[in-house]
Amino acid sequence: MPKVIDAIFENGVFRPLEKVHVPEHKKLKIIIENEAEAPVKKKSSLAGIIDIAKDCVDTDLSVHHDKFLYSEHS
């Protein structure tokens, strides 16, 4: 299972910033990602769509498919 470890590169060696539980001489694959250039991961949220169908009286919201996708909501 992949695990993200913060590390510092010093004197040609990657030094973990936290304790790492890996057996000695275990071969690992390290992916280097500069912290400043790393993409910001956003948490997904349903808050933006909770009230999208509040004005609909139909229980079958698929009837309003195009309205939800292509018109602005207030």
Q: Does residue 50 lie in a domain region?
A: no
Q: Does residue 29 lie in a domain region?
A: yes
Q: Does residue 24 lie in a domain region?
A: yes
Q: Does residue 26 lie in a domain region?
A: yes
State the distance between the two ends of the chain, measured CA to CA, in whole angstroms.
Answer: 43
Q: What is the pLDDT along the chain (74 residues), one digit of tens a residue?
A: 788 888 999 999 999 999 999 999 999 998 888 877 666 666 666 666 666 666 666 666 677 677 767 765 54
Q: Give bridge partners of residue 16 from the DSSP assignment.
A: 7
Question: Would you state the pLDDT for residue 74?
Answer: 45
Domain that holds residue 19: 1-37
Q: What is the number of structural domains in the chain?
A: 1
- Quote the CA–CA distance of 28 and 25 in Å, as a whole number: 9
Q: Does residue 27 lie in a domain region?
A: yes
Q: Does residue 33 lie in a domain region?
A: yes
